[in-house]
Chains A and B, each alone.
Chain A
Amino acid sequence: MSPRILLPVFVLSLLLAPQLVSEFHVTLLNYIGLYSIVAIGLVLLTGVGGLMSFGQAAFVGLGGYATAYLTTATSLPVWIASLGGSPWLGLLAGVVLTAAVALLLGLLTLRLSGHYLPLGTIAWSISLYFLFGNLEFLGGHTGISGIPALSMFGLPMKDARNFYYLIWVVVLLAAWLTINLLDSREGRAIRALKGGVVMAEAMGVDTARSKVVIFLIAALFGCVSGWLYAHLQRFVNPTPFSLNMSIEYLFMAVLGGAAHVWGAVLGAGVITVLKQWLQDWLPRLLGASGNFEMIVFGVLMIFVLQRARDGLWPILCRLVPQRAIARSVPVADVLPRKSLPEAGEVLLEARHVVKRFGGLVANNNMNLNVKAGEIMALIGPNGAGKSTMFNCVSGVDRATEGEVLFRGRPVTELDSREIAKLGMSRTFQHVRLLPTMTVLENAAIGAHLRGSRGVLPAMLHLERAEENRLLAEAARQVERVGLKSSMFEAAGSLALGQQRTLEIARALCADPCLLLLDEPAAGLRYMEKQALAELLRKLRGEGMGILLVEHDMDFVMGLADRVVVMEFGEKIAEGLPEGVQRNPAVIEAYLGGVD
């Protein structure tokens, strides 16, 4: 069976299932669907984004309680009383409430390091659980009953089979929206969160915003699941929204395969069925009643993370013959380019830059400038402070003292994201690619700032025209650096030298006027170096300024217009390549002095 027909087969069997199985199994499938919606959100948040929340069940609870209260309350304020009793008002209220809470929690915790979100959401989850259980107007621990049935197109959905279709339509919708989002400009930014924040920021991605966005989406999926739950059960109490349930949602995502959308559905299915089965058998086996499935789930989770950290979905995928899908680069208009500055204009100027790490002075009183249409090389022995200097001018690090001007604007205090917007783009000495993404997608991250369509159009795939232009541009740059034959390979499978070249393609995608290259020729073969030098000359000819850190002297001396030599964090020489090569201080730095 080819993988392409699996999805239609899956949808068809979903469609037929309620006609073929018993009422009990339809109910079970309903629950799997409800849990899948939440787990899909967690795939986006945890599996893809590398963030963790223990508050998902609480968001489900917000969705459930909002509609439960609004559809059953007898004394609503006048301004909404006319709408009172409508489940749609309940959904709207739940969504607004969830969004507000998720935004607040997200803004508070996401700027801190990774483990504050889980700890913050644990606390929020417990608070909300006790709040549900103690507020009188929410029915306390007994909960709220008598929630009206949903009715759609004039059809009341009172039985499980009707509801089944609604739930699974929402599941497929959630999966579709998530898959769409991941395959977009915003999606690439999200996928960069796990392992590529520094790089993504340098490419102009607002990673803090991406984090808040996925937290918000995951929370809203939870809320919708809760709304469905309330109208399916027609009753809510605090129990299904406790911290333990949040943990089970997390287990579903992890077990299924936290980085795969369909893994969420698989995980929800396995955990739900397993729980049903264990709840039948374990009490009989152990001779006592209680939630003993917790033991099995806990041990299972430890085992999965030790032995198959990517979950069940990739294992399942390996059973299906994978056929290479013929992929092509979309054809699209060329993106508009910014006009390059006049040749000779000073692009970058560093004045008296000092960088200290504690007591260590990595850069001391460094001055340098780069003009449009020239290649400036920064050389020096290992540990001379070249990469630190690079980080200071590109905003990845902040200079302790001194001033950096880019196109006449002070940028010393700006983040790398802001500097990228002004037209500076860079590569990294220690390659920062996303190894599982394709070469094309990696390059396209560089074009992030050249697109503008946001998350919603991406989820609905309404931004295809722009997306095609971005991908076409990325493909042009990949081709330009000579990696066309590897366009759809995973970036991690390239040789190190090629990965460095890909970093250049990514930087070029940003349409910069100043290019910062940190050891671009390291790991390249002779012919590849020649090709790289040719490319850099061409870029210079177009008017781009290039600042280059490099160890290969033949490469530098044949290419650079001017050279700055650093040693021990200070500038020891500056000038034309020939002059620098004869400078006694430079010879001493490289070869050692003669006493």
Chain B
Amino acid sequence: MDLQIALLLGQDGITNGAIYALLSLALVLVFAVTRVIFIPQGEFVAFGALTLASFQAGKVPGTLWLLIGAGIAVAVVDLRAVLGRSRQRRRIFSILGWNLVYPVVLAILIHLAKPGELPLAAQVILALALVVPLGPMTYRLAFQPLAEASVLVLLIVAVGVHFALVGLGLLFFGAEGSRTPAFSDGSLTLGSLTVGAQTLWVLGSSLTLIVVLAFFFERTIYGKALRATAMNRTGARLMGISTVMAGKLSFLLASLIGAFSGVLIAPITTVYYDTGFLIGLKGFVGAIVGALSSYPLAALGALLVGLLEAFSSFWASAFKEVIVFTLIIPVLVWLSLTTHQVEEEE
């Protein structure tokens, strides 16, 4: 290996690592706020990428039908809860608006606008508008009725959601993979190193998103509400923070991060209906490095995963996944040596 190759691999690793870092942040967030180990995170990556690819191929993505279906289901569940309670009549409009009207408006828009001919930025926005609402809807349908259940039960539900979404992904997008064109052409030359435009896009967008998230958590009332819920659910509720709102919001952020990551990597790698799962799990490895609680450590861990993956694909490409997932063994050793036995069960 010479310096040239090392730089190339490092660039690859950092690019993928940036994506894993985004995902690991979302995983830490969702776990802290809702105690859900968010296994289906990767499906949002795949849905984001494949929805964009469908637009570019001039097709109507199947995720649209999923959005309409999930919207109807949420509306039914929510209306059943609200009807009969006169004080909450006002909520009916917002329920109908978000769950029935919004998907239909989006469907009409997609039908009229012919997304295949729109500029890329508009396609990306449409894809996100389509996929992101699926996050809070998933929370409403699968997790909210079990919000007080144990981590174990929530984890099995998360696996159930993962299974259902992967199956639906296969149904909507077929078994063939897709790749989208890069956001822009060209490259940047720094001495002997050539950096592709998409790499810059990935790094730039990831950094921007991380800064925006930091601002959101530090400076906005909703961000603070989420942090409060993560620290102490009961305490937060006593202060008037709705845990349902916090749950939906954290799922919204997670699906946004997931779908956006999908859009970012679609030009770099071919995305299949089940690709997201492995990508999401690598985010998990990063999150575990951060002991599922520290955002900076999780992001660093994810970068490490990206680099390890890139370099092991050079030395032993067949064993790339084995090496990456074995990384958590030393991390677990370290955690188990430094963590004191858990005193109190839930």
Contact B157 A301 (CB under 8 A): yes
Cβ contacts under 8 Å, A107 to chain B: 336
A357 to B155, CA, bound (A): 31
Residues of chain B from 313 to 335 with CB closer than 8 A to chain A in the complex:
318-322, 325-326, 328-329, 332-333, 335
Residue of B nearest to A50 (CB): B152
Q: Mark B144-169, 1 if CB is under 8 A from A, else 0.
A: 01100111110111011111111110
Stretch at the interface among B91-99, B212-220, B284-292: B284-292
Contact A250 B156 (CB under 8 A): yes
Cβ contacts under 8 Å, A115 to chain B: 37, 151, 155, 292
A247 to B166, CA, bound (A): 13
Task: Decide yes or no whether B341 CB sits under 8 A from chain A.
Answer: yes
Q: Mark A108-141, 1 if CB is under 8 A from B, else 0.
A: 1101111110111011101100110010000000
Q: Which among A124, A197, A251, A301 is the interface contact of B345 at CB below 8 angstroms?
A: A197
Taking the closest CB of chain A, its distance from the CB of B147, in whole angstroms, is 11
Residue of B nearest to A126 (CB): B325
Contact B163 A195 (CB under 8 A): no
Contact A302 B160 (CB under 8 A): yes
Taking the closest CB of chain A, its distance from the CB of B230, in whole angstroms, is 15
Stretch at the interface among A5-13, A285-293, A317-325, A404-412: A285-293
Q: Mark A134-175, 1 if CB is under 8 A from B, else 0.
A: 100000000000000000000000000000000000000000
Task: Decide yes or no whether A299 CB sits under 8 A from chain B.
Answer: yes
Residue of B nearest to A120 (CB): B332
Residues of chain A from 440 to 470 with CB closer than 8 A to chain B in the complex:
none
Contact A301 B160 (CB under 8 A): yes
Cβ contacts under 8 Å, A302 to chain B: 141-142, 157, 160-161, 164
A37 to B216, CA, bound (A): 50
A196 to B145, CA, bound (A): 25
Taking the closest CB of chain A, its distance from the CB of B298, in whole angstroms, is 13
Task: Decide yes or no whether B238 CB sits under 8 A from chain A.
Answer: no
How many interface residues does chain B have, given as a range?
Answer: 35 or more
Cβ contacts under 8 Å, A305 to chain B: 146, 149, 153, 156-157, 160
Contact B170 A123 (CB under 8 A): no
Cβ contacts under 8 Å, A244 to chain B: 163
Contact B164 A397 (CB under 8 A): no
Cβ contacts under 8 Å, B320 to chain A: 130
Contact A127 B321 (CB under 8 A): yes
A197 to B342, CA, bound (A): 10
A108 to B332, CA, bound (A): 6
Task: Decide yes or no whether A294 CB sits under 8 A from chain B.
Answer: yes
Q: Which among B141, B152, B174, B339 is the interface contact of A111 at CB below 8 angstroms?
A: B339
A115 to B156, CA, bound (A): 11
Contact B160 A299 (CB under 8 A): yes
Contact B164 A127 (CB under 8 A): no
Residue of A nearest to B162 (CB): A298
A116 to B152, CA, bound (A): 11
Q: Which among A52, A116, A119, A120 is the interface contact of B156 at CB below 8 angstroms?
A: A52
Cβ contacts under 8 Å, A225 to chain B: none
A294 to B40, CA, bound (A): 14
Best-surrounded residue of A54, A122, A244, A292 (most CB of chain B within 10 A): A122
Taking the closest CB of chain A, its distance from the CB of B294, in whole angstroms, is 15
Residues of chain B from 277 to 312 with CB closer than 8 A to chain A in the complex:
278, 281, 284-285, 288, 292
Q: Mark A224-247, 1 if CB is under 8 A from B, else 0.
A: 000000000000000000001001
Cβ contacts under 8 Å, B318 to chain A: 130, 134
Residue of A nearest to B278 (CB): A126
Task: Decide yes or no whether B344 CB sits under 8 A from chain A.
Answer: yes
Contact A301 B155 (CB under 8 A): no
A109 with B336, Cβ < 8 A, contacts A46-B152, A288-B171 known: yes
A298 to B320, CA, bound (A): 29
Q: Which among B145, B159, B329 is the interface contact of A247 at CB below 8 angstroms?
A: B159
Taking the closest CB of chain A, its distance from the CB of B78, in whole angstroms, is 15
A123 to B284, CA, bound (A): 10
Cβ contacts under 8 Å, A130 to chain B: 318-322
Q: Which among A126, A293, A397 is the interface contact of B281 at CB below 8 angstroms?
A: A126
Task: Decide yes or no whether A254 CB sits under 8 A from chain B.
Answer: yes
Taking the closest CB of chain B, its distance from the CB of A293, in whole angstroms, is 8
Task: Decide yes or no whether B175 CB sits under 8 A from chain A.
Answer: yes
Task: Decide yes or no whether A2 CB sits under 8 A from chain B.
Answer: no
Contact B325 A109 (CB under 8 A): no
Cβ contacts under 8 Å, B163 to chain A: 244, 247, 294-295, 297-298, 301
Contact A301 B325 (CB under 8 A): no
Task: Decide yes or no whether B185 CB sits under 8 A from chain A.
Answer: no
Task: Decide yes or no whether A309 CB sits under 8 A from chain B.
Answer: yes
Cβ contacts under 8 Å, B155 to chain A: 52, 115, 118
Contact A294 B164 (CB under 8 A): yes
Contact B325 A123 (CB under 8 A): yes
Taking the closest CB of chain A, its distance from the CB of B144, in whole angstroms, is 10
Task: Decide yes or no whether B2 CB sits under 8 A from chain A.
Answer: no
A198 to B346, CA, bound (A): 11
Contact A291 B167 (CB under 8 A): yes
Taking the closest CB of chain B, its distance from the CB of A127, in whole angstroms, is 5
A108 with B284, Cβ < 8 A, contacts A126-B321, A301-B160 known: no
Cβ contacts under 8 Å, A485 to chain B: none
Cβ contacts under 8 Å, A50 to chain B: 150, 152
A54 to B37, CA, bound (A): 13
A290 to B169, CA, bound (A): 11
Best-surrounded residue of B292, B320, B341 (most CB of chain A within 10 A): B341
Contact B345 A127 (CB under 8 A): no
Task: Decide yes or no whether A306 CB sits under 8 A from chain B.
Answer: yes
Cβ contacts under 8 Å, B319 to chain A: 130-131, 134
A123 to B345, CA, bound (A): 25
Q: Which among A114, A197, A288, A295 is the interface contact of B151 at CB below 8 angstroms?
A: A114
A118 to B149, CA, bound (A): 17
Contact A111 B341 (CB under 8 A): yes
A295 with B335, Cβ < 8 A, contacts A52-B155, A250-B156, A305-B157 known: no
Contact A116 B335 (CB under 8 A): yes
Contact A295 B171 (CB under 8 A): yes
Taking the closest CB of chain A, its distance from the CB of B141, in whole angstroms, is 8
Cβ contacts under 8 Å, A120 to chain B: 328, 332
A52 to B151, CA, bound (A): 10
Q: Mark A185-213, 1 if CB is under 8 A from B, else 0.
A: 00000000001111000000000100000
Contact B146 A112 (CB under 8 A): no
A298 with B37, Cβ < 8 A, contacts A111-B341, A290-B170 known: no
Contact B339 A112 (CB under 8 A): yes
Ranked nearest first, the 9 interchain pairs of A and B with the lowest CB-CB distance are: A298-B164, A298-B163, A301-B160, A295-B167, A294-B167, A123-B325, A134-B318, A298-B160, A130-B321
Interface residues of B (CB under 8 A from A): 37, 141-142, 145-146, 149-153, 155-157, 159-168, 170-171, 174-175, 278, 281, 284-285, 288, 292, 318-322, 325-326, 328-329, 332-333, 335-336, 339, 341-345
13 A-B pairs whose Cβ atoms sit less than 8 Å apart in the complex: A52-B155, A54-B159, A108-B332, A111-B341, A119-B37, A123-B326, A126-B278, A130-B322, A198-B345, A288-B174, A298-B162, A298-B164, A302-B142
